[in-house]
Amino acid sequence: MRIIICGAGQVGYGIAERLSAENNDVSVIDTSAAHIQTVRETLDVRGFVGHGSHPDVLAAAGADEADMIIAVTFSDEVNMVACQVAHSVFNVPTKIARIRVQSYLQKEYSDLFLRENLPIDVIISPELEVGEAVLRRIALPGATDIMRFAGDNIIGLAIECLEDCPIVNTPLNQLNELFPELSSTVVGVVRNQSLFIPHSVDQLAAGDLAYVISPREQVKRTLSLFGHESKDANRIIIAGGGNVGLYVAKAMEMRTVRTNVKLIEGDHERALLISDQLKRTITLHGSALDQEILLEADVQDADLFVSLTNQDYVNILSSVMAKQLGCKSNMALVNNNAFQNLTHMVGIDAYINPKNVTISKVLQHVRRGRVRAVYSVDNGNAEIVEGEALETSYLVGAPLRELALPAGIRIGAIYRDNKVIQPSGDLRIRPKDRVIVFATADAVKDVEQMFRVTLEFF
């Protein structure tokens, strides 16, 4: 696939890194010569200095033969114009744009992005995506990552195995015997920073991070078996009143009346603006690194501290301080991949990487075949994919035990006729089944083949 990426910031670079590693023909455009130099030196892509919205720059990047343009510059307007030019001048089939300003996304202006107006096929709003990721974590304390599939009927969880986890040192094939009512499936394990797909005779160990696919109604039961029986967080402190923090606070006000939310914002004018937009949330002006402000917010009695500022060091340090002052749990927004391995060591219970959230959204539309959802996990070392099985797919017909599935792939669940089915050796996948698949990075292409229409179908 030939793909043009406009913007070589963290998100653009991350997308280019992932797509070039999969042997796509990738061109990257950015106004910064330094960014383009970095891209050329570290990735197998072509780099072009210039504005992604300029026709001559797009032409030089090969827009006339491109299958897709992904515009993720810092300017919404540049992203929109880049998609318009790609459509009108070069007839690029698929156009994806990152749009941050919420005014563009209001329902009353939804016609703006129709094909005859601004022809953008997919809109990515990082603030909304990250905000929803934060809300999912708040709703399910104990999980370090949460993914939703099949209309929220199937949940993917990343769960740390604690010392008192009831299923530690138990072969996975015995779990159904010990817990016959449980339909959850362990599809991936990270141990000592190394990812592998477990076999039925493998055992989980304390400290492992397990990726588990579960029916929605069994999620809390699954978390408890891994040693996580955390109560819902009713007293929450949010550090950072930017777009993400404000979105989360507003959503909490709309979704529950029992939750007590306090928000700390360092900029005085922003704090005043936020306080006017929030009804039940208490807004405090001050630094999240100021112990007196944290105590004024009653951090010692809080159930959860969520740090969502634009600075990683503030998010990490304030989360650590909050826990030391008595807060039961914490969560931090972490942009820098280098910091992510430090979070657990310093006592951060969960972190969210905005880049990974955005990349997952893009991959859903890059993946070929009948793919409905994609989540990038373990810093891009694996993906969890929801795809629809087609009549021509080799998944269909034979019992699962007879399928020669490629290495690096494990099926986690099947959704059929509004029911979640746990995979077993005797199960046969039918056409139109939704299949949840865990795949290591080198097996993603095999997953795409599972959900593609073959030529013999026509």
Max mean pLDDT range (45-49, 190-194, 373-377): 45-49
Question: Do residues 449 and 370 make contact, with C-beta atoms less than 8 angstroms apart?
Answer: no
Share of residues in the chain with pLDDT > 70 (%): 98
What angle separates helix 10-21 from helix 33-42, to the nearest 10 degrees? 30
Query: Is a pLDDT exceeding 60 seen at residue 455?
Result: no
Largest CA distance in the chain: 69
Fold topology of 235-352: Rossmann fold (3.40.50)
The per-residue pLDDT for range 89-101, each reduced to its tens digit, is 999 999 999 998 8
- What is the per-residue pLDDT for 73? 95
- What is the per-residue pLDDT for 458? 32
Question: Do residues 71 and 7 make contact, with C-beta atoms less than 8 angstroms apart?
Answer: yes
Kindly tell me the sign of the dihedral angle through the C-alpha atoms of 200, 201, 202, 206.
Answer: positive
Query: Is a pLDDT exceeding 60 seen at residue 457?
Result: no
Residue type, 340: Q
- What is the per-residue pLDDT for 95? 94
Query: Is a pLDDT exceeding 80 seen at residue 55?
Result: yes
Determine phi and psi for 457, rounding to 5 degrees. -70, -25
Query: Residues near 65 by Cβ (< 8 Å), separated by ≥ 6?
Result: 2
Share of residues in the chain with pLDDT > 90 (%): 57
Question: Do residues 443 and 406 make contact, with C-beta atoms less than 8 angstroms apart?
Answer: yes
Query: Which range among 75-84, 137-146, 379-388 shows the weakest confidence by mean pLDDT?
Result: 137-146
Asked if domains 2-124 and 235-352 share a fold, the reply is: yes
What's the whole-number mean pLDDT along residues 22-51?
95
Query: Is a pLDDT exceeding 90 seen at residue 267?
Result: yes
Q: What element of type H or E holds 355?
A: helix 354-366
Secondary structure string (H, E, C) spanning 274-326: HHHHCCCCEEEECCCCCHHHHHHCCHHHCCEEEECCCCHHHHHHHHHHHHHCC
CA distances from 185 to 310, 315, 393 (A): 36, 33, 23
Determine phi and psi for 344, rounding to 5 degrees. -65, -40
Centre a 10 Å sphere on the Cβ of residue 182 and count the other Cβ atoms it contains.
17
- What is the per-residue pLDDT for 140? 85
What's the whole-number mean pLDDT along residues 420-427?
92
In the chain, where are the structural domains located? 2-124, 130-225, 235-352, 357-457
Which comes out higher in pLDDT, residue 11 or 113? Answer: 11
16-23 long-range contacts, Cβ below 8 Å, gap at least 24? 16/43, 16/45, 17/43, 17/380, 18/359, 18/363, 18/376, 18/380, 19/366, 20/44, 20/45, 21/441, 22/444, 22/445
Residue among 418, 416, 415 at smallest CA distance from 437: 415
Tell me how far apart the alpha carbons of residues 428 and 67 are, in angstroms, rounded to a whole number.
Answer: 35
Query: Residues near 9 by Cβ (< 8 Å), separated by ≥ 6?
Result: 30, 35, 72, 73, 74
Looking at residue 400, the DSSP 8-state letter turns out to be G
What's the whole-number mean pLDDT along residues 404-411?
90
- What is the per-residue pLDDT for 258? 79
- What is the per-residue pLDDT for 16? 93
- What is the per-residue pLDDT for 203? 92
What's the whole-number mean pLDDT along residues 351-360?
84
Q: Give the SS3 label for residue 358.
A: helix
Fold topology of 2-124: Rossmann fold (3.40.50)
- What is the per-residue pLDDT for 343? 81
Q: Using 50, 70 and 90 to split pLDDT, how confident is the model at 175?
A: confident
Q: Give the SS3 label for residue 35.
A: helix
Which comes out higher in pLDDT, residue 255 or 274? Answer: 274
Query: Is a pLDDT exceeding 90 seen at residue 293?
Result: yes
Tell me how far apart the alpha carbons of residues 207 and 215 are, in angstroms, rounded to a whole number.
Answer: 24
Q: Using 50, 70 and 90 to split pLDDT, how confident is the model at 322?
A: very high
- What is the per-residue pLDDT for 453? 58
Chain mean pLDDT for the chain:
89
Query: Is a pLDDT exceeding 70 seen at residue 281?
Result: yes
Fold topology of 130-225: Alpha-Beta Plaits (3.30.70)
Question: Do residues 183 and 388 make contact, with C-beta atoms less than 8 angstroms apart?
Answer: no
Query: Is a pLDDT exceeding 70 seen at residue 456?
Result: no
What's the whole-number mean pLDDT along residues 31-48?
95
Q: Which residue has the tokens 């990487």?
A: 353
Tell me how far apart the alpha carbons of residues 350 and 333 are, in angstroms, rounded to a whole number.
Answer: 9
What's the whole-number mean pLDDT along residues 386-411?
89
Q: Using 50, 70 and 90 to split pLDDT, how confident is the model at 359?
A: confident
Tell whether domain 357-457 is in CATH 3.30.70.1450. yes
How wide is the angle at C-alpha 388 spanned by C-alphas 172 and 19, nearest 5°? 85
Query: Is a pLDDT exceeding 80 seen at residue 114?
Result: no
The per-residue pLDDT for range 220-231, each reduced to its tens digit, is 889 888 888 777
Which comes out higher in pLDDT, residue 115 or 402? Answer: 402
Q: Which residue has the tokens 């999969």?
A: 22
Tell me how far apart the alpha carbons of residues 122 and 160 are, in angstroms, rounded to a whole number.
Answer: 34
Residue type, 325: L
Which comes out higher in pLDDT, residue 368 or 264? Answer: 264
What's the whole-number mean pLDDT along residues 321-327?
95
CB-side exposure of 7: number of CA atoms within 13 Å?
24
Q: Using 50, 70 and 90 to split pLDDT, how confident is the model at 257?
A: low
- What is the per-residue pLDDT for 85? 96
49, exposed or middle or buried, with CB in 10 Å at 0-12, 13-18, 19+?
middle
Determine phi and psi for 167, rounding to 5 degrees. -105, 10
Tell me how far apart the alpha carbons of residues 374 and 130 are, in angstroms, rounded to a whole number.
Answer: 15
Tell me how far apart the alpha carbons of residues 235 and 284 are, in angstroms, rounded to a whole number.
Answer: 15
Which comes out higher in pLDDT, residue 372 or 325? Answer: 325
